[in-house]
A and B are shown apart, each in its own frame.
Chain A
C-alpha cells in the first residue's frame, strides 16, 4: 500500500469555523486526498480516533482548561509536526475574550469557571506546546492551509504518482 500522510484534526475552544472550511475543501480535494492522506482522528467525520505516531496534527481553538492542556500535550508528544489553525489557536482570540474581562464580569462567570474547572486564563497553542507552522485567519486562510498540506506531503515523501 502506498505511503500516506498520517493526519489528525483536533478542535478545542473555538467556533470550529476552520473545521467547516476544511469540510468544504473536501468538496474539491477529496478524490486527490483519499489516496494521499490517512485521517487518523477527526471527530467531526469519524468516531475512530488514533492519537499515535501522527505525521501532522492540526490544532484548532484556544486552550481553556487543564483537561484541554493535557490533551494538547499528548497530541504534541505523538505528532511529528503540529500546526495551529485559525485565529483562536494562533493568537488566542476571540476565544480568550474572558482574559480581558473586568472584575464585575469575572465575578459573573466565576461560578462556572470553578464548577467546570476552567484555567485561570485562556491560552493560544504556542503558549503550551511547540508549534511548527500556523494557518492564520478567522476562519483559516484556505490557500495557506493547502500550501501547508502540499509542503508536508512532500516533506514526508508521500507521492502523488
Chain B
C-alpha cells in the first residue's frame, strides 16, 4: 500500500459514534486520528444547581449501556458527600445489580459486537443456524444476555436506569420468587460461558502493547464496587489520590477529552483487572478457568475480550453465592441529610474505572461535578494501538477494506463507549 487517505466515519458494532482517519504516504503511516464523534450533551454543566438526590437518575442517562454503573457510582459519591452509610443488605443488592450489568454488558460486547469478526461475518444476525457452531453461539448470545438482564430487572426494577436503586438504599426490594428464578437462569448458562472463554482463548488475534500501564479498582472479592486503585507499576493508591494524578489531554479533533496517568498512556477495563487481580476471582471461576488465566498478565489488547468472558463467569458465580446468602429484610432507604461537602465515588464499570467527584452546597445542590469515564481514559491508547498496528503491518494490509476491518477490530477490543465519553468538557478540581 503506497498512498492512501482513509476516512472511516462510522465504526460499527460499538456503543455510540467514533471515527478514524489514516494517512499513508510512500508506504509509511504519516497520521492516525481516532476520534469520538458523538455530540456532547453537557451533563457536567446540566447537573449544576440540581438536587443531589436527583443526580444518580440524571447521570444514569449519560449512557444506556453503562447506565447502572453511572447510577451506582453517583450514589457512592452522593453518600460520601452526605455521610450516609448504606445497610449490609443494600450493599449486597448493589453488588447483585452490578453483576447483572457485567454479565449483560460483556455478553453484548462479546457475542454481538466481537464474535462476528471471528466468524468473518458482518453481524450476529447473519449467523447460519445450519452451522452447528454458529447456531450454538447464536443461542448462547441471547441466553447469557438474558440471564444478566433478568438479574438487573429483579434487583433494580429495570436493567437500564434501574428505578429502585437510590441514595441510602432501595425503594423497592426484590421478590424472593423472582430472585430464585434468576438464580436458575444464572447457573444454567455456565456451560455457554466456558465455551465462550475457550473460543476467545483459541481464536482471538494478537496486538502486543508494551507501553501500556494497567489500572483498576481492586478489592479482595473482585466486587467492581470497592477497593483501592492498583496499577501494573506495582503502585496502590486511594481513589482520591488516583484522581489527582489524572492528566487531562485535549484532543482537538475529538468530541471527547483523553487522559494520561502521570504522563503515561494507560488502559482500564477487564484486561487491566485480570492483569491485576486474577487471584481474586471467585474460587469456582478460578477452578473452571485455570488453563486460561495462566496467560494473564497479558499485554495483548485482544485479551480484553477473553478477560471479559472470564469476568462473566466470575459475575455468575459471585451473584449465585450472594443470592444464596440473601435473606430479604424489610427496610427503607437511609434518609440523607442535606449538608455542604465533597463526595467521591469510584467503581469499576464494565469498561473500566468510573470516577465521580461532586461538590455540594449546604442546601444539597450540586455546585460542580467531575466525571471521568473509562473510554476517556482509554482513548489515547486506542489511537496508539491503531498506529502501532498499521506501522508494523502496513506491508501486509491488502486493501482499504482490510485496513478498515483491522481498525474496527482494534477499537472493538477496547470496548469503548462513546455515549459516556463525550458528555463533559473539562476536568478541573474544585
Contacts and interface: CB of A to CB of B under 8 A. Distances in A.
A71 B155 CA distance: 39
B89 interface: no
Given A16-B16, A16-B64, A98-B42, A48 B123 contact: yes
Contacts of A95: 41
Contacts of A16: 15-16, 63-65, 419
Contacts of B13: 43-47
B249 interface: no
Interface in B139-155: 142-143, 145-146, 149
B226 interface: no
B46 A24 contact: no
Contacts of A115: 252
Contacts of B149: 24, 27
Interface in B33-50: 38-43, 45-46, 48
A105 B160 contact: no
A4 to B, nearest CB: 12
Contacts of B255: 112, 116
B45 A109 contact: yes
A139 B157 CA distance: 13
Contacts of A18: 64
Given A16-B63, A20-B64, A94-B46, A47 B39 contact: no
Contacts of B48: 105
Nearest to B404: A47
B65 A108 contact: no
B160 to A, nearest CB: 5
Contacts of A58: none
Given A16-B15, A64-B39, A98 B45 contact: yes
B135 to A, nearest CB: 11
B184 to A, nearest CB: 16
B63 A109 contact: no
B67 interface: yes
Contact of A46 (B14, B40, B58, B122): B122
A17 B419 CA distance: 10
B12 interface: yes
A51 interface: no
How many chain A residues sit at the interface, stated as a range, is 35 or more
A39 B125 contact: yes
Interface in B310-366: none
B122 A15 contact: no
A111 to B, nearest CB: 9
B171 interface: no
B112 interface: yes
A131 interface: no
A102 B392 CA distance: 50
A23 B141 CA distance: 11
B405 to A, nearest CB: 9
Nearest to B142: A27
A41 to B, nearest CB: 10
Interface string A30-63: 1000100001000111111100000000000000
A49 B108 CA distance: 20
A42 to B, nearest CB: 8
B161 A138 contact: yes
A21 interface: yes
Contacts of A13: 38-39, 41
A78 interface: no
B274 interface: no
Nearest to B145: A27
Given A21-B160, A27-B149, A98-B46, A15 B61 contact: yes
B425 A108 contact: yes
Given A17-B160, A23-B145, A44 B41 contact: no
A19 interface: yes
B124 interface: yes
A30 B140 CA distance: 12
Contact of A15 (B62, B145, B146): B62
Contacts of A116: 39, 255
A50 to B, nearest CB: 12
B6 to A, nearest CB: 15
Given A17-B64, A34-B125, A116-B255, A46 B142 contact: no
Contact of B112 (A34, A45, A68): A45
A117 B10 CA distance: 18
Contacts of A48: 122-123
23 contacts: A13-B39, A13-B41, A14-B64, A15-B64, A16-B419, A17-B63, A17-B64, A17-B160, A24-B104, A24-B159, A45-B112, A46-B123, A46-B125, A47-B122, A49-B10, A64-B39, A94-B58, A101-B42, A108-B45, A109-B42, A116-B255, A118-B39, A138-B61
Interface of A: 11, 13-21, 23-24, 26-28, 30, 34, 39, 43-49, 64-65, 68, 94-95, 97-98, 101, 105, 108-109, 112, 115-116, 118, 138-139
Interface of B: 10, 12-16, 38-43, 45-46, 48, 58, 61-65, 67, 104, 108, 112-113, 122-126, 142-143, 145-146, 149, 158-161, 252, 255, 408, 419, 425
Given A15-B419, A48-B122, A138-B61, 15 more contacts: A14-B64, A20-B65, A24-B159, A26-B142, A44-B12, A45-B124, A47-B123, A48-B123, A64-B39, A68-B39, A109-B40, A109-B45, A112-B40, A112-B255, A116-B255
